[in-house]
């Protein structure tokens, strides 16, 4: 449980280049961002596991998108600043290049996602939720126009409400459906360096590659975007490419060893717009999947919206953009 993409991700609590996404993604991200600090505090208190919410800010080197970013920030009441060479040097002294201008988003945080996931599992168990783990669903059970449960190798789990949230593998459960969700696996590889605390201070993003500092000095550098099906192997080519980029931008990393190299499969939906929806005609069947590069930041809002739909409550956001058959234009 919580071992796939959610474990493998970087934990940045913002879409990378948020202005490149539809407003529907920004709305989910904004709702989650306003909840994250409190969520992490309350998980730490209830479980004793610290998800390490870290408001480090994100420096984004994308000088030809400054106007687009400014327009997006104004539309969504977000704070972004321009940082010139001197400010960039102060914000992240370990960065070797000094761009004339960078976009500085001071309110972007990150979490230690493997710990966040562990804390969430622990927390729901403390609430008395019963979890059945290591039992893959092989088939959804449909009785006339209604879901009646799910079949696993160990037997049937009966329910009149089923939420499919199986990440990159979601399409496999809908193989014989007429309009399956368009979710595909997109591999991402990541390197972990073990440095001294404070070696890197900020999230820095450039050309879709980014660095994330953990509180204990560990530093993540990622990530690749590979359309290679369900292959989760790491490759020496990606290791070399990421290492070369990381040490060119942050020469201090040459002093430290690579502690780990891993790959995960992102659930890629068109335009990165997740499916959070009831099935259009099978009653009791729901989906919450396809969060692509942003499942950690979109998680709280998506889970809440999905619960609203299942329970028939007033939804936190208008659900139409995330519907099964909504347009997802790239």
Ligand X SMILES: Cc1cc2nc3c(=O)[nH]c(=O)nc-3n(C[C@H](O)[C@H](O)[C@H](O)COP(=O)(O)OP(=O)(O)OC[C@H]3O[C@@H](n4cnc5c(N)ncnc54)[C@H](O)[C@@H]3O)c2cc1C
Under the rule (CB under 6 A), what is the footprint of ligand X?
1, 3-6, 8-12, 136-137, 165-169, 173, 188, 190, 222-223, 264, 266-267, 289, 291-297
Encoded tokens for 176: 């014989």
- Terminal Cα distance for the chain, rounded: 31
Residue 242 vs 317, nearer CB to ligand X? 242
**Which of 225, 221, 188 has its CA nearest to residue 205?**
221
Residue 249 vs 291, nearer CB to ligand X? 291
State the minimum distance, in angstroms, from the CB of residue 291 to ligand X. Answer: 4
Burial class (CB in 10 A: 0-12, 13-18, 19+), 105: buried
Residue 204 vs 297, nearer CB to ligand X? 297
Which residue number is nearest to ligand X in terms of Cβ?
A: 295
Cα dist from 165 to 11, 41, 242, 243, 285, whole Å: 19, 25, 30, 33, 11
State the minimum distance, in angstroms, from the CB of residue 281 to ligand X. Answer: 22
Rounded to whole angstroms, the Cα distance separating 217 from 222 reads 16
Encoded tokens for 98: 């000094």
State the minimum distance, in angstroms, from the CB of residue 86 to ligand X. Answer: 28
State the minimum distance, in angstroms, from the CB of residue 110 to ligand X. Answer: 7
Count the alpha carbons within 13 Å of 300 in the hemisphere toward its beta carbon. Answer: 19
Residue 11 vs 51, nearer CB to ligand X? 11
State the minimum distance, in angstroms, from the CB of residue 62 to ligand X. Answer: 17
Residue 84 vs 151, nearer CB to ligand X? 151
């Amino acid at each position: 449980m919580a071992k796939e993409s959610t474990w493998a991700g970087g934990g940045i609590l913002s879409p990378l280049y948020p202005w490149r996404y539809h407003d529907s993604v920004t709305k989910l991200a904004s709702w989650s961002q306003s909840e994250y600090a409190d969520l992490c505090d309350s998980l730490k208190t209830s479980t004793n596991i610290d998800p390490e919410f870290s408001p480090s800010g994100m420096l984004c080197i994308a000088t030809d998108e400054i106007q687009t970013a400014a327009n997006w920030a104004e539309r969504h009441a977000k704070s972004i600043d321009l940082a010139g060479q001197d400010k960039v040097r102060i914000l992240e002294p370990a960065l070797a290049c000094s761009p004339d201008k960078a976009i500085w988003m001071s309110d972007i945080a990150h979490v230690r996602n493997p710990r966040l996931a562990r804390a969430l599992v622990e927390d729901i168990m403390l609430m008395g939720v019963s979890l059945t783990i290591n039992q893959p669903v092989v088939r959804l059970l449909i009785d006339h126009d209604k879901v009646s449960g799910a079949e696993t190798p160990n037997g049937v789990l009966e329910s009149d409400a089923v939420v499919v949230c199986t990440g990159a593998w979601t399409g496999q459960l809908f193989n014989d459906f007429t309009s399956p969700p368009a979710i595909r696996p997109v591999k991402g590889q990541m390197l972990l360096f073990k440095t001294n605390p404070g070696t890197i201070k900020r999230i820095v993003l450039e050309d879709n590659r980014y660095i994330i500092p953990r509180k204990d000095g560990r530093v993540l550098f990622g990530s690749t975007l590979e359309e290679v099906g369900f292959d989760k192997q790491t490759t020496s080519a990606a290791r070399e490419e990421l290492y070369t980029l990381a040490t060119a931008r942050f020469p201090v990393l040459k002093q430290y060893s690579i502690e780990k190299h891993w790959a995960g499969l992102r659930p890629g939906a068109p335009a990165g717009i997740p499916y959070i929806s009831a099935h259009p005609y099978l009653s009791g069947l729901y989906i919450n999947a396809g969060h692509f590069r942003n499942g950690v930041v979109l998680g709280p809002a998506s889970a809440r919206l999905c619960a609203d739909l299942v329970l028939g409550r007033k939804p936190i956001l208008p659900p139409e953009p995330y519907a099964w058959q909504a347009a997802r234009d790239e």
